[in-house]
Structure 1
Amino acid sequence: MPSNSTNPARGLALAAAIIVASLLAGCSTSKEKLLPHGDSTMMDIWQQNAGDGSGGGAGQAAGRQLLDARQSLRRPLTEADVRAAPAEQTRYTRTARNEVYRQFQRLPNPDLVMYVYPHLAGTDPVPVPGYTTVFPLYQRVQYAMPGERVEDY
């Protein structure tokens, strides 16, 4: 007689197999339903849906916009375009210098001028004459996040 500890596991495995089989059967379909045969070729279907066919309507308007966009991209370069190309390409060339200076601009760090009055300093009080000194307001250089600060200073 089998022990009771193996029967629940066997029943669980059988239930899982039935669920998997029913899911697979529910997802199946016939080839004819999925890929129906007809007189149209793939090129006909493509042209009909891309707007190149004689279907008219929105498909034809989309096809016209597509052709217009392609035509503007296929235009030949003029002499002015050829002359302007190096300067245009230089604007978009990434260098370490323009990356740092353009994206992460330094925030202003004003200098503070301070007058130190005459005083005594040290363990043996030594007289120190008065003097003026300059130091930055912030200890470290601070940078703005890209796009945070646009005006020059």
Structure 2
Amino acid sequence: MAEDLTIINSVSKEEKYQSLLPQIKGLITGETDQIANLANISAALKEQFNWFWVGFYLVKGEELVLGPFQGPVACTRIKKGKGVCGSSWERSEVLIVPDVEEFPGHIACAAASRSEIVLPLYNKGELIGVLDVDSEHLAHFDEIDATYLGQILDFLNG
């Protein structure tokens, strides 16, 4: 198990992900506790990219409930189909939102959040939650983020 991350800054976003992927895999390999793994993934992503907010919401009945995260306090519960996270859950798809103010029904947990990416989280094929990443910059996320964040989530799909 890795105890420290090697953070690189003066390279492309893609190179940052390529450096981080094996480190995250090392962090979670052999650890069976889901919360511990989600916490370490959130911390690793926040440390490497310094995003405004990064974390997980987990399916509990008919709501997403706040899970491990890094950043300011957040909304605790989100209904299916509500906001970006609830919409990603309902549709079972990645959502990239360049400007959260233009997303119908956006839930403003923090006024500083300007753009967002949300990816469904699966375990053994069942959608169990979402990874939510917010930036204080407009149009911060793209297909590179979707691809590499998806690869990180694939590590958890047992």
Give the TM-score of the pair, scaled to structure 1.
Answer: 0.13
Higher RCO structure (Cα 8 Å, ≥6 apart) = 2
Structure having the higher strand fraction is 2
TM-score normalised over the length of structure 2: 0.13
Select the structure of larger CA radius of gyration. Answer: 1
